[in-house]
Chains A and B, each alone.
Chain A
């Protein structure tokens, strides 16, 4: 899986370049994100601008990444979710435990405070 990364001060933006985050690519996603994060642990914005579809396995992968960052006492937020993906997060009530921002800029600003 191709993942774009962008450094903004102490914040790392991770942007998976895929339409789907599901049972068939979530393992790659986790592997890539873990490698990027562990190279230099920082606060992370997961930008979902390319992702149109997330299933329960994809959701589990995102939660697993969130917990990894929390164990390093780093913050993890999500930005630029499509309405469909956001609906899934709301359906399983995960939106209450992950901060979600409309734009990556807003997310970076929030993490930079």
Chain B
């Protein structure tokens, strides 16, 4: 009937009008969705307080900045909107190349189409604050995710924490060590961090290193106490990076605040740290509709005790070696109260801190991974891994068994930390030497003789002895050169070595200014430079290097060498 009363012309017009209307509505809807995404991103970026985050156009122009971008004083507020981000760094051209490489991906003309899986790019640059000292920064560029035409730039200040001096006074007879070097090594799956009484390893699976928000932070309170923070944020890439940075920044602030609250400064209780973190990070997460969990654990190797607290329901698995059993320890968090836990441990025990988000995932059959399943598999496969020589290998084997049996989803980026408790007999000092030095060239042969005697007594392989001596020589020459350069004829200190069954700890203590190795770049291997190999050589030979302050306030260089080194070169 309609066809009889409505002419074909009217029908055509009606159809055209409807099509136009649909197009307009679709366009408006698309614009709203896109605007909402942009707004969400803007809120997410601006919510990061303590890290420098910049939202960039594909060409590298700054759109929004996080408050933490005050790392560059001329970037406060909107002052740097519209500027080219390359201006932030001394190496403008290499940075522009990074932008160009990822910008092509970001400039995809179809913002709703899933972005190609372009990896984030990471480099080290020099930040150039106007009127200030240039300093090294780690730069990560993330390509667009779902927001279209956007790059996210994360800039990490590679200097020790700005309040390091204050923190240093707070721990260990008034000091805390900023364990940056160790943290860097901990991010590498093949490396372990060694403590007097414990051995810490971390693993991020399946990716080699943290590119997004998850992170593990190690902080040595003193020779026998180590704090471990494991942060796990939901999501990946872009947003996860923002959230992780937010938590890391909050953690630094919270720790600083609590340490300096006491007079004299004191190590805060684990509960207090997590409660304070909850008040800051969780609130921020809620604002931007995100999720994240944090587990904070403190290992006291002297008292053989573990204290921990968690945001979320992060479990810790305790491998009790004497009983060959895995105990599941919960640090439960509720809206009202936060409960922490304490557990004693014995020699050869192992603690596994898994990333909690793992337990929010499902296997291909739709079943949730559970901590009980993880514990059961670890117990079942224990005969295969518990005899392995170090906790990292044990962790790898245990987790791999879990991954194989449980079919971890391909995108899963679970993070694990493991703490192995050293057998008691291995923590006994077998030999201790301490030689006063004025750090003159004449001290070198004295050091060689003492070091070689110790290495021979420790039964280190002869070839490794020579390389270890080379590292000690480099450290000593470096101090002597600083002495001469600064005209410090009052230089004094000592050389010390402690021999354990499985390792030797070497120390130089002196009264020159505290040295920050992160200012030094690795040397070029193209033969174009004559200097700058010393610290690189030390770093390559030693199993662990630490620049710190000794208990008496003087500068400390500490090098740890293991009998069974992970380096196959020797």
Interface residues of A (CB under 8 A from B): 22-24, 53, 55-57, 59-61, 63-64, 66-67, 83-84, 87-88, 90-94, 96-98
Contact = CB atoms under 8 A, between A and B. Distances in A.
Contacts of B467: 84, 87, 91
Most buried by B among A22, A91, A96: A91
Most buried by A among B480, B530, B536, B540: B530
A22 B473 contact: yes
B525 A84 contact: no
B525 A96 contact: yes
Given A87-B463, A97-B526, A98-B527, A92 B533 contact: yes
Contacts of B541: 91
Number of contact residues on B: which range applies?
Answer: 20 to 34
Contacts of B523: 92
Contacts of A24: 441
Given A53-B466, A91-B541, 6 more contacts: A53-B470, A61-B530, A66-B527, A84-B463, A94-B525, A98-B527
B569 A67 contact: no
Given A90-B569, A91-B541, A91-B569, A67 B533 contact: no
Contacts, number: 68
Nearest to A83: B463
B262 interface: no
A64 B538 CA distance: 22
14 contacts: A22-B473, A24-B441, A53-B466, A55-B473, A55-B534, A60-B530, A84-B463, A87-B467, A91-B537, A91-B540, A91-B569, A94-B527, A97-B526, A98-B527
Contacts of B441: 24
B106 to A, nearest CB: 35
A91 B502 CA distance: 24
Contacts of B463: 83-84, 87
A8 B412 CA distance: 64
Contact of A23 (B477, B527, B569): B477
Nearest to B525: A93
Most buried by A among B463, B523, B527, B541: B527
A63 B527 CA distance: 6
B477 A63 contact: no
B569 A59 contact: no
Contacts of A87: 463, 466-467, 569-570
Nearest to A52: B466
Please provide the 5 A-B residue pairs with the shortest distance between their CB atoms, ordered closest to farther: A60-B530, A56-B533, A93-B525, A56-B534, A84-B466
B474 interface: yes
B527 A57 contact: no
A60 B22 CA distance: 73
B481 interface: yes
B286 interface: no
